[in-house]
């Protein structure tokens, strides 16, 4: 029970720091691009993929035309569309390849990543940085583990990409509220678009 509470505290502290670091103009760019998009396609792998799909559900509730790449009903992407990618490292091959393909087909790319110098960030029209531990950070930590222990540095309690993924989810939930306000949608409007076969 003690470790669980410590981990939750660590995650909350990280999210607070991430919130302070995000610039208002980045949110503004993101919101404007989503509102003006013909359609929004979301993609990520693993837990980052789940975060992108959670965001897609809310965009759908707002009345936007949105698709999760890989679903059998995903239409072709093209001019006027936006591909929204979530990747902590910004180096996941399938995500980078998809972003390159979307750009060739005339779509714009928005990415959320921890590494603004990554391949994904370089391809993207809009990049939002959400700090977190990436695969590269974890490998470095493992390599330098003994040195860190001698210096008395604690490793994070939250495993792998948890800090990035949790921060992304909360950030995107905040973006949904901003979108609601901009396009004049209420929770009642969204509820009308919520799945009702429960």
CB atoms within 10 A of CB 67: 19
CA distance 16 to 118: 24
| 3-state DSSP helix/strand/coil % of the chain, to nearest 5 | 55, 10, 35
Catalytic status, residue 165: yes
123 and 109 in contact (C-beta within 8 Å)?
yes
* Residues 6 or more apart in contact with residue 192 via CB below 8 angstroms: none
Environment class of residue 149 by beta-carbon count within 10 Å: exposed (0-12), middle (13-18) or buried (19+)?
A: exposed
Which member of 10, 65, 141, 165 is catalytic?
A: 165
Active site residues: 165
């Amino acid at each position: 029970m003690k470790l669980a509470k410590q981990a939750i505290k660590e995650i909350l502290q990280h999210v607070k720091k991430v919130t302070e670091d995000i610039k208002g103009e980045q949110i503004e760019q993101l919101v404007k691009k989503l509102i003006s998009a013909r359609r929004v396609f979301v993609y990520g792998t693993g837990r980052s993929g789940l975060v992108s799909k959670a965001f897609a559900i809310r965009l759908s509730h707002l009345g936007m035309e949105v698709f999760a790449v890989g679903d059998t009903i995903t239409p072709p992407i093209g001019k006027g569309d936006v591909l929204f990618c979530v990747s902590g490292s910004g180096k996941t091959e399938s995500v980078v390849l998809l972003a390159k393909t979307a750009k060739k087909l005339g779509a714009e790319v928005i990415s959320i990543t921890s590494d603004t110098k990554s391949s994904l960030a370089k391809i993207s029209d809009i990049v939002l940085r959400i700090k977190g531990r990436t695969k590269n950070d974890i490998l470095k930590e493992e390599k330098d583990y003994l040195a860190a222990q001698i210096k008395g540095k604690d490793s994070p309690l939250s495993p792998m990409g948890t800090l990035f993924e949790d921060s992304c989810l909360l950030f995107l939930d905040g973006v949904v509220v901003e979108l609601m306000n901009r396009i004049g949608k209420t929770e009642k409007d969204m509820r009308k678009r919520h799945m009702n076969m429960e």
